[in-house]
Structure 1
Amino acid sequence: MNKLLTAIAAACVFSAPAWAAEQTVTLAVPGMTCGVCPITVHKALTAVPGVEKVSVNEMKKDAVVTFDNAKTNVKTLIKATADAGYPSTVVQ
């Protein structure tokens, strides 16, 4: 019984991603000039696997993205907006 519990505990520890962490990045998206632009940017970012939350602000021309860094990265998010026709950069 003791060996079984040890094996189950070890399986739980090693099956979860050890280095996964939620991250948030703000992307400047200067090309948003109309009411449809934020919708397009939002759709492009939410389609990226690992993205958990997206908030696009047309007035500020930015997008705040919360994502799982074990599933995606900032480079992929920037590529998603560029592929949708809205090049973006990280706000420092």
Structure 2
Amino acid sequence: MIDALRKKLSAWALNQLEQIMLSSDEIEMLVRTEKPLSPAQQDELQKRGYRSHYVVGNFSSGSVSNVKQLEEVAELQFVRNIELSFPMSKE
């Protein structure tokens, strides 16, 4: 696992990575950046497979297709923190 993921994911998310790697589901996340995203930064995220759903200030909710894309998003200097989504209740 690359250092960027260790630095930018929560402890819970790091523990969930193995399960996520075995899943074929989209990886939903909340990305916190140092300041609101510029158009160039939005393009950088898109190039790494990030699909933005909603942006407010320096937070963006979105998704990627796999862990490789998650790693690529985590490598971006302007990304400060990544929180993975999780179910609010058991199904």
| TM-score computed with the length of structure 1 as normaliser | 0.51
Supply the distance in 2 between the matched residues of 1:38 and 1:55 (Cα, whole angstroms).
Answer: 16
Alignment coverage as a number of residue pairs: 63
Structure 1: 5+ residue stretches without partners: 1-17
Matched, 1:60 2:57: yes
Structure having greater relative contact order (Cα 8 Å, sep ≥ 6):
2
Supply the distance in 1 between the matched residues of 2:72 and 2:27 (Cα, whole angstroms).
Answer: 14
- The residue number in structure 1 matching 2:46 is 46
Q: For the structure 1 residues 52 and 90, does the alpha-carbon distance in structure 2 shift closer, same or farther, using more than 3 Å as the test?
A: closer
| TM-score computed with the length of structure 2 as normaliser | 0.51
Larger radius of gyration: 1
Q: For the structure 1 residues 77 and 52, does the alpha-carbon distance in structure 2 shift closer, same or farther, using more than 3 Å as the test?
A: closer
Root mean square deviation, CA, Å: 2.6
Structure 2: 5+ residue stretches without partners: 1-21, 85-91
